Amino acid sequence: MISKAKEDRLAHLEAQALDSLRTAVTEFSHPVFPNAMIVGDCVITHLLHKLDYLATEKVKVMVVDTFHLFDSTIPFLKELEKKYAFEASVFRAEGCETREDFEKIFGIGVWKVDVAEYDRAAKVEPFQRGLEALETDVMINGRRRDHGADRAYIEIAEVAPIGGELAKLNPLAYWTFEDCFDYAAAHGVPLHPTVAEGYPSQGDAKDTVPVPDPEGLSGVKGEPGSVRFVDGEWFGDKRAWLDYGKERAGRFVGLYDKDGSQKTECGIHVDGAERSWDRDLWGGVGNPDGASVVVPLASREDALALKNSGGPAMIVVYAPWCPFCQAMEAEFEKLAVYLEAKGVTVAKYRGDVDRPFVKEEFNVKAFPTINVVNQDGLVKYDSEVRTLDAMLAFFEAHATTP
C-alpha cells in the first residue's frame, strides 16, 4: 500500500512538473534553467530531457561557476551534458577565467571579510549577466516549499518583475526533498557525487559540510557519510536530511549576514538579485521630467577624460544590482538636475564590470563611490549619507580648489 501510494504521488507530481515545463516552452520565447546540480535540479534536468527540451535547446541550461565549487561539480556537469545531450552556458565572475584571476581581483578569502561582496561577485553578477545574455523571459528553478520558512508559500508559477517581463517557474514547488530522492531512484536520475558522500546539498565547498559532521556545524553531530544516498538506497537515519528545512543544513557554515544572522540564501534568490539585471540605474528616477540627466560614461576613455577635465563635475561609480546604489538613485538624480542647471556635469560609470580600472583610477573599494572632480583631480565622498543636501554641500565645498 505504501509503495503504491508513493508511486501515485510521484506520478501526480511528475505530471504537474511536466505541465509547468511545457508552459515554459509554449508560452515564452527564451526559457532558461539555472542548474546548480543539487538534487532537485538533477530531477528537473531529467524532466526537461523527458520532454526533449534539452537536445533541441528549447530550454537553455545555465551554470554559475563560483570558482569555489566542489572539485566534482564541473566533471559531474560534463556527465549530465553527455547523458542528456545538451551544453550548458557557464558564467563566471566578470573578467575571471580561473580562481587565481578571481582572487587577484577580489582578494583571497573575500567571503570571510564581506560575504555579501563575495555573493555579488561570484554569484549574483554572473547570474544576472547570464540571464541577460540568454535573453531570458522565464526562469526555471528548483525552489520548493519545504526548503524552509522563507520559501514556505512559493507557488509553481511566479512573476519576478524584472522590467515587468521575467516570469519564474518552480516545477518542484510542491515536492518534498524525499520526493526528489524517490523520483531519482525510480527513474535512474544521476545525482551529484557528494550525495553518496554524505552531503544533502551541493554549494561552495568552502562552506558546505556533510550532514552529520564531526563538529555538529550542520546541526547534526556524527560521523561524516553515516547518512548518505547511494544508487537509489538510503544508508543511516534519513531524517537528518529529510526533516522540514533540513536540505540546506550543511550549507553556509560559518557565514553570517551583516545583521549577524546565520546566512540562509546564496544571494541569487534574495530580493533584488533576480529583479535588477536588466534595469540600469538613473533612467530618470527622481527627475520630474522623466529622463535622466546623469551622463553615462561609456568607456574608460570617457571616464578618464572627465576625471582629468579639471571639473567641476561629479562622478558616481556604481553597480546596478547594488542595493546602496539603488537606494541613492533618486537623490543623486535630483542632484544632477540641480547641477545641470548650473552647467555642471554629473556622470555615472559602471564599475562592477571594470573593477581593476575603477579601483586604480576612481578610489573604489565598494559601490557606490562618488567623486568630485576639481582642478587637482578627485575628491572622494566618504559619507554614507547620500541625500541631496549632503551631497550638494560636499560638492560645493570641493568643486573648486582652495
Domain ranges of the chain: 2-242, 295-398
Q: What angle do CA 97, 322, 96 make, to 5 degrees?
A: 5
2-242 shares its CATH topology with 295-398: no
Q: Which CATH superfamily is domain 2-242 in?
A: HUPs (3.40.50.620)
Nearest to 266 by CA among 96, 165, 124, 134: 124
Hey, what's the torsion of the CAs at 56, 58, 59, 61, to 10 degrees?
Answer: 40
Whether domain 295-398 has CATH 3.40.30.10: yes
Strand residues in 261-400 grouped as ranges (E): 295-296, 313-318, 345-350, 369-374, 377-381
Dihedral in degrees, nearest 10, Cα atoms 220, 223, 224, 229: -80
User: 95 — alpha (psi -120 to 50), left (phi > 0) or beta?
Assistant: left
- The pLDDT profile of the chain, 402 residues, written as one tens digit per residue, is 888 888 999 999 999 999 999 999 999 999 999 999 999 999 999 999 999 999 999 999 999 999 999 999 999 999 999 999 999 999 999 889 999 999 988 889 888 888 888 888 899 889 988 988 998 989 999 999 888 777 888 889 886 544 445 788 999 999 999 999 999 999 999 999 999 999 999 989 998 999 999 999 888 999 999 999 999 999 999 999 998 878 877 776 655 555 554 545 555 554 444 544 456 788 755 455 568 899 999 999 999 999 999 999 999 999 887 778 888 999 999 999 999 999 999 999 998 778 889 999 998 988 899 999 999 999 999 998 999 999 999 999 999 865
